[in-house]
Amino acid sequence: MTYVQSLRCRECERTYDIAPIYTCEWCFGPLEVAYDYEAIAANISRESIAAGPETIWRYAPLLPVDPPGASTLPVGFTPLLRADRLAAELGLGELWIKDDTRNPTNAFKDRVVAVALAKALEFGMKTLACASTGNLANAVAAHAARAGLHSVVFIPADLEAAKIVTTAVYGGTVVAIDGNYDDVNRLCVELASERPWAFANVNMRPFYAEGSKTLAFETAEQLGWETPDHVVVPVGSGSLLTKIRKGFDELHKVGLLDAPPAVRVSGAQATGCSPVASAFNEGSDTITPVRPSTIAKSIAIGNPADGYYTLDAVRETGGGCAAVTDDEIVEGMRLLARTEGIFGETAAGVTIASLKKLTQEGVVRPDERVVAYVTGHGLKTLDSVAPHAGVSVTIKPTLEAFHEAFPGEDE
Ligand SMILES: *Cc1c(COP(=O)(O)O)cnc(C)c1O
Ligand SMILES: [Zn+2]
């Protein structure tokens, strides 16, 4: 059983029965899942969570759908790694990396898709669909295959080749759109009103978005039920950032934390697509849509659906918002790999480069416990680092040749 009360409009608070819907009929605000937190508090404890599965479903009372049956991919409970070598390089104290590359399709999108899929199964829907910048398509195709649903994913035609292959291999329908993500999304909004499909991030969005909260739940549990002082989160639509903040607040609401969380939330964007960072840094209340042009394609959303809520979350918590260039993104990917042995994709490069920038600006401080979210695997965006990572030397297979190339007596 779940503790869901209704869907509720984020703007006017009108409530709706649970259904595959996502906007308020009155004010066109986004719908969110409303829970009975008192009932959850009475039915959840650190012990009950510890006794649960090592997946996102250990937090089932705080999710909008019951755990699905056996034929689903296990998602979540990814490592939280102390990153002392990266911290030293950046001049930080206590730094942790939440390594969400370690999910079934190697990105955090497995979390949101797992929740959307469970809800689609409950609604009796037969096709899982999405508008994707790449990783969501990966996850939708894989999870649908495992659950025996059809999948139809829509992507911008210029996506990285690796992301197309790793999606198409699951056998669903892959529709490339001659346009950018915002064009793809617009088409999917139209299709969602004429097809009985579960579009993970359109008509299923209120449920889908809740999956991102599990990143906050796991972080707190892995820190011994304490919260970080500061988190750095990559921003595409802004859903992930706002839900990580919501996740920490909910843990306190249901009595799982000893103290109210005071987590500063900072955003990370690429300068080639930084509508939220631009508004933040200009002190503006208006987010101006942009035409994306960056190697960080997974977060290249020019007109972010949750942009205003993201701006609010960053401002209300005293965080910052950085934008970094494509060169800085590649340098961020290499820095993380070189210091911690973690190979993240371009969005991870955005996060690490933004962490560096925010630290230099004094926004992220050495006295804080910091968590940076690495949300996708580097093998998905190999092309971006390929020019910077090759063999050290090519030699003949003889000792002589080796000695010639390496005359020193290194350890
Ligand atoms: C989708 C995605 C994000 C951002 O998610 P939003 O919820 O749209 O802000 C971050 N990192 C990666 C790797 C993604 O695929
Ligand atoms: Zn409304």
Residues 262-279 pLDDT 10s? 999 999 999 999 999 999
Same-domain status, 261 and 375: yes
Same-domain status, 234 and 263: yes
* Count of other CB atoms within 10 angstroms of residue 221: 19
Span from the CA of 209 to the centroid of ligand 2 (angstroms): 18
**Mutation test of ligand 1: which of 78, 97, 99, 135 has the most ligand atoms closer than 8 Å to its C-beta?**
135
Same-domain status, 269 and 347: yes
Same-domain status, 191 and 240: no
Helices (H) and strands (E) in the chain, counts: 16, 13
What pLDDT is stored for residue 408 in this prediction? 83
If we measure between CA atoms, which residue out of 372, 299, 300, 364 comes closest to residue 332? 372
Same-domain status, 295 and 153: no
Span from the CA of 298 to the centroid of ligand 1 (angstroms): 6
**pTM reported for the whole predicted model:** 0.97
Point out the domain boundary residue: 180, 208, 236: 208
What pLDDT is stored for residue 29 in this prediction? 97
Ligand 1 proximal residues by C-beta, below 6 Å: 107, 109, 135, 234-240, 298-299, 345, 347, 375-376
| Ligand 1 atom closest to the CA of 241, numbered from 1 | 9
Same-domain status, 48 and 133: yes
Span from the CA of 104 to the centroid of ligand 1 (angstroms): 16
Ligand nearest to the CA of 22: 2
Ligand nearest to the CA of 313: 1
Ligand nearest to the CA of 276: 1
Same-domain status, 348 and 218: yes
Write the pLDDT tens digit of every residue in 110-158.
999 999 999 999 999 999 999 998 999 999 999 999 999 999 999 999 8
Span from the CA of 234 to the centroid of ligand 2 (angstroms): 28
Point out the domain boundary residue: 188, 208, 228: 208
* Count of other CB atoms within 10 angstroms of residue 282: 10
CA distance 186 to 202: 10
Angle at 201 between CA 198 and CA 202, to 5 degrees: 70
If we measure between CA atoms, which residue out of 381, 299, 298, 304 comes closest to residue 337? 381
* 68, part of any domain: no
Same-domain status, 170 and 216: no
Ligand nearest to the CA of 28: 2
| Ligand 1 atom closest to the CA of 235, numbered from 1 | 9
Q: In what order do the strands lie in the sheet with 264-270?
A: 80-82, 94-99, 369-374, 230-234, 264-270, 321-324
Cβ atoms of 117 and 149 closer than 8 Å: yes
Torsion sign (Cα): 206, 208, 214, 215: negative
| Ligand 1 atom closest to the CA of 100, numbered from 1 | 13
* 85, part of any domain: yes
State whether residue 166 is helix, strand or coil: helix
Same-domain status, 197 and 249: no
Same-domain status, 346 and 280: yes
Same-domain status, 199 and 221: no
If we measure between CA atoms, which residue out of 289, 298, 406, 279 comes closest to residue 350? 298
User: Which residues of the chain fall below pLDDT 50?
Assistant: none
Domain of residue 314: give its range: 80-106+211-388
What pLDDT is stored for residue 409 in this prediction? 72
Report the number of distinct structural domains present in the chain. Answer: 2
Place of tokens 């926004």: 363
Q: What CATH number is given to the structural domain containing 112?
A: 3.40.50.1100
If we measure between CA atoms, which residue out of 161, 182, 167, 218 comes closest to residue 373? 218
Total residues found in the chain within this entry? 411
If we measure between CA atoms, which residue out of 211, 250, 255 comes closest to residue 56? 211
